[in-house]
């Protein structure tokens, strides 16, 4: 499972039933399991998604590793389209945000203090 930061001001594109409509547009049929929206598409056996406030979207997916290469490529394109539409960030920006989050988690942004 992975949490993606939502671009400031982008939440208006996801609120209400807009996230579900986005998933339906890209993945097809969507159903709800508790607070999660669940779909499947191509090489994705399942993709689950939910919002955490206005700042984060959580996504969990399961991949069919035996899928045909063409199906896998198509799925990757749709997956990237979904993440960009859901977060407001393109792949390069999402990678940069992930690096920043990892850096914060390891404490690399905290200055060294010598005792």
Question: To the nearest whole number, what is the mean pLDDT of the chain?
Answer: 91
Q: Which two tokens stand for residue 80?
A: 């990237």
Question: What kind and span of H or E run contains 23?
Answer: helix 18-27
Q: How many CB atoms are located within 10 Å of the residue 55 CB?
A: 13
For residue 97, how far is the Cα from the chain centroid?
Answer: 12
Domain ranges of the chain: 2-93
Fold assignment, 2-93: TATA-Binding Protein (3.30.310)
% of the chain with per-residue pLDDT over 90: 83
Give 40's contacts (C-beta < 8 A, 6+ positions apart): 27, 28, 46, 47
Q: Is the pTM of this model over 0.75?
A: yes
């Amino acid at each position: 499972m992975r949490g993606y930061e939502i671009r400031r001001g982008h939440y208006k594109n996801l609120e209400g039933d807009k996230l579900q409509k986005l998933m339906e547009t890209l993945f097809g049929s969507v159903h709800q399991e508790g607070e999660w929206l669940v779909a499947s598409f191509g090489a994705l056996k399942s993709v689950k998604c939910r919002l955490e406030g206005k700042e984060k979207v959580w996504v969990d997916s399961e991949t069919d590793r035996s899928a045909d290469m063409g199906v896998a490529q198509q799925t990757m394109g749709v997956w990237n389209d979904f993440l960009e539409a859901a977060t407001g960030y393109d792949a390069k920006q999402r990678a940069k945000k992930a690096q920043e989050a990892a850096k914060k988690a390891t404490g690399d942004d905290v200055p060294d203090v010598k005792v």
